[in-house]
Amino acid sequence: MKKLNAYKSTSVNWAKSQANIGKLLDKVGIKDVRFTFMASQGSIICEFNYPTIVDDKEVNIGVRIIVRLPESKNQEQSKNQVHRALYYYLKTKFEALDFGLVEFVQEFMPHLIVYDKNGGTKTLYQVIAPQYNKGLITGQQGDIKMLEGKG
């Protein structure tokens, strides 16, 4: 695993960064937020629903950001590091939206939650990346298949 140095020595506790993320999301109208610490998978998951209007219909766009914890003997410091990086990552994304550089779906595309026909969920990145990478290796960039209900 790649050694991650950004925010490695942050003194900001993860709970404070998580609260900062909550305030940031609230500021842009996001009320549904969930954080999950997956110790067995070595990751932190941030999920939220972005309320918006598509074709004159109110919808919530689901977003799931999965951040791997860096390898460390100090799990608490790793959580501090990941939450701080996530806060600034989201802050930058919402600044780009506010400035008009991109639209929400465009900016969060890899993190958008999609459902298969069996009700399972993945992010668009989880669906597309394996096929895209295979195409890069084989040189055959055929049609990328979206969700087929395989779990």
String of DSSP letters for 78-144: HHHHHHHHHHHHHHHHHHHHHHTSS-HHHHHGGGBEEE-TTS-EEEHHHHHHHHHHHHHHHS---PP
Rounded to an integer, what distance in angstroms lies between the CA atom of residue 32 and that of residue 17?
17
Is 124 a domain residue? Answer: yes
Is 102 a domain residue? Answer: yes
Structure tokens that stand for 29 in this block: 């109208």
- Check whether 150 has a pLDDT greater than 50: no
- Check whether 114 has a pLDDT greater than 90: yes
Rounded to an integer, what distance in angstroms lies between the CA atom of residue 143 and that of residue 51?
31
- Check whether 4 has a pLDDT greater than 80: no
Give the mean pLDDT of 106-126.
Answer: 94
Rounded to an integer, what distance in angstroms lies between the CA atom of residue 18 and that of residue 36?
11
Q: Following CA atoms 24, 28, 30, 35 in sequence, which dihedral angle do they give, to the nearest 10 degrees?
A: -20
Q: Residues 83, 132: contact at Cβ < 8 Å?
A: no
Same-domain pairing of 61 and 26: yes
pLDDT confidence of residue 6: 82
- Check whether 144 has a pLDDT greater than 80: no
The radius of gyration of the chain from alpha carbons, rounded to an integer in Å, stands at 17
- Check whether 143 has a pLDDT greater than 60: yes
- pLDDT bin (cut points 50, 70, 90) of residue 131 is confident
Same-domain pairing of 68 and 98: yes
- pLDDT bin (cut points 50, 70, 90) of residue 140 is confident
Give the mean pLDDT of 88-112.
Answer: 97
* Structural domains of the chain, count: 2
Rounded to an integer, what distance in angstroms lies between the CA atom of residue 43 and that of residue 32?
20
Cα angle 37, 14, 64 (rounded to 5 degrees) comes to: 45
Same-domain pairing of 131 and 69: no
Give the mean pLDDT of 106-135.
Answer: 92
- Check whether 72 has a pLDDT greater than 90: no
